[in-house]
Amino acid sequence: MKELEPVHRPAGRLGARLALALGGGAARGLAHIGVLDVLEREGIRPDCLVGSSMGGLIGALSAAGLRARDIAEVARSFRFPRWFIPGFIVDWDTVFAHAVPILTPRSFEDLDVPLVVTAVDLEEGTQVILHAGPVLPAVRATCTVPGVLPAVRLGHRWLVDGGIVNVLPVDVAWMVEPDVVVAVKVGAARARKMPELDWRLTALLSRLGTVVPNPGTAKLAFEVLVRAAEIILDRQAALAAAMTGPEVLIEPELGDLGLRDFDRLDDAVRAGRLATEAVLPELCRLLEAPPRIQVRSELVLTLRFDPVCAMVISPGRARAKAEHEGATYYFCSTNCRDCFEQEPALYLRNTALAFGPMRRGERRTPESQTGDANMPKRAADPRPVGNKQGGGTA
């Protein structure tokens, strides 16, 4: 593969602030490349990129300065093992080989475009927002499918795929107080045939599996699990889009393109282009409108979350709020607020979301998590500063 040179991106434009949220969907996430290609052609530059799972990887390559066509060239090397059997762990650097040397020397602080990726703490059960430090470990974490790729250790956390709890991270994009959020929903195939269920040996393998573990039964069981994951992913993506309501939703028509179909790169990129072309008029109209905030400071991440459902909440977009012990709490809905008011101690007992890796021996409560983080500057500690005015809404 030829050496790729990052493209210089000019300073952010004046006017509406744009955040691009790239959703998860494994190989279906290759459609993000087509989206980026159209935006690049039209001179539309996001002020912030937010990604989950494959969206985090494609977003990182773009934030590192690669043009869409160069990202596509990198993605041609992506391959999932053809004969994967449960119990075999795949090496991340083998699946995404050509992305590794590009991302290895980069840190979030020196990216061309501010980037945020999401992951999940396996032990705490919390969503983790990654925005500082080395890029590659964070991208490995957001793309780590449990049981297929090894969990990634960052600080004192064991992290896995961000799509588990947030497959379309529109709410995370709200942290930079954007005027416009463009979300790209790739999800999973809602319906597709499973030829494995019609194999002549399927019934025999199912019976054999009740007697002794064997590779054939394991393969069949894995295919059923993958299909179940696709159904869950499709439903979660639909709910995320409905609950967050991004200003622009891009939904590439990917048909039966599966989570492991990295060899269908051209189909995915084409679908991303077509879907973006369809929303261009509306996107341009929104970007030409006066920004909600007339005076802009440097890009700042403000972390507040709904203590009931753990959705990241922007005060300007919150649908409800409540006061409790001198602190203000913001909610995604009146239902969440009502649940909180009935038993606030229940929802303040455990951490629901966090910035960055947790240090050994550290335990965070909602009250200790609210705060701001300046994205353009290198920070010694990526954790937010405590903010009592924001209360336990971090």
What pLDDT digit, counting tens, does each position of 136-163 carry?
Answer: 999 999 999 998 999 999 999 999 999 9
**Nearest one of 112, 117, 153 to 132, comparing CA atoms:** 117
Q: Does residue 4 carry a pLDDT above 60?
A: no
Per-residue pLDDT band for 223 (boundaries 50, 70, 90) equals: confident
Tens of pLDDT along 186-210? 987 777 777 777 777 877 878 887 8
- In degrees to the nearest 10, what's the CA dihedral of 209, 212, 215, 218? 40
Q: Name the pLDDT band for 364 (thresholds 50, 70, 90).
A: very low
Q: Which residues contact 265 (CB under 8 A, 6 or more apart)?
A: 30, 33, 72, 75, 76, 78
Length of the chain: 394
C-beta neighbour count of 135 within 10 angstroms: 26
Tokens 């705060």, located at residue: 371
pLDDT of the residue at 315: 84
Three-state DSSP class for residue 31: helix
14/390: higher pLDDT: 14
User: How far apart, in Å, are the Cα atoms of 164 and each of 54, 122, 249, 278?
Assistant: 12, 10, 20, 29
Give yes or no for residue 324 having a pLDDT over 80.
Answer: yes
Give the model's confidence band at 227: pLDDT under 50 very low, under 70 low, under 90 confident, else very high. confident
pLDDT digits (tens, 9 = 90+) for 332-348: 999 999 999 999 998 88
Lowest pLDDT segment from 55-64, 74-83, 276-285, 360-369: 360-369
Buried b (16+ CB within 10 A) or exposed e, 364-375: bebbbbbbebeb
At residue 119, the 3 state secondary structure works out as strand
Lowest mean pLDDT among 98-102, 134-138, 301-305: 301-305
pLDDT value for 389: 28
Rounded to whole angstroms, how far apart are CA atoms 3 and 13?
A: 29
- Whole-number Å distance between alpha carbons of 144 and 284: 35
Are 274 and 252 in contact by the 8 Å Cβ rule? The answer is yes
Task: Specify whether the CB–CB gap between 155 and 138 falls below 8 A.
Answer: no
Residue 3 has pLDDT above 60, yes or no: no
The reported pLDDT for the residue numbered 367 is 38
- Residue 9, pLDDT above cutoff 80: no
pLDDT band at 56 (very low <50, low <70, confident <90, very high): very high
CA-to-CA distance for 139 and 383, rounded, in angstroms? 18
Calpha distance 89→113 (Å, rounded): 33
Measured over the CA atoms of residue 70, residue 76, residue 77 and residue 79, the dihedral's sign is: positive
Please compute the mean of the pLDDT values over residues 157-183 and round it to a whole number: 94
At residue 214 the predicted structure's pLDDT band, cuts being 50, 70 and 90, is confident
Q: Which of residues 315 and 107 earns the better pLDDT score?
A: 107
Q: How far is Cα 386 from Cα 324, in angstroms, rounded to an integer?
A: 17
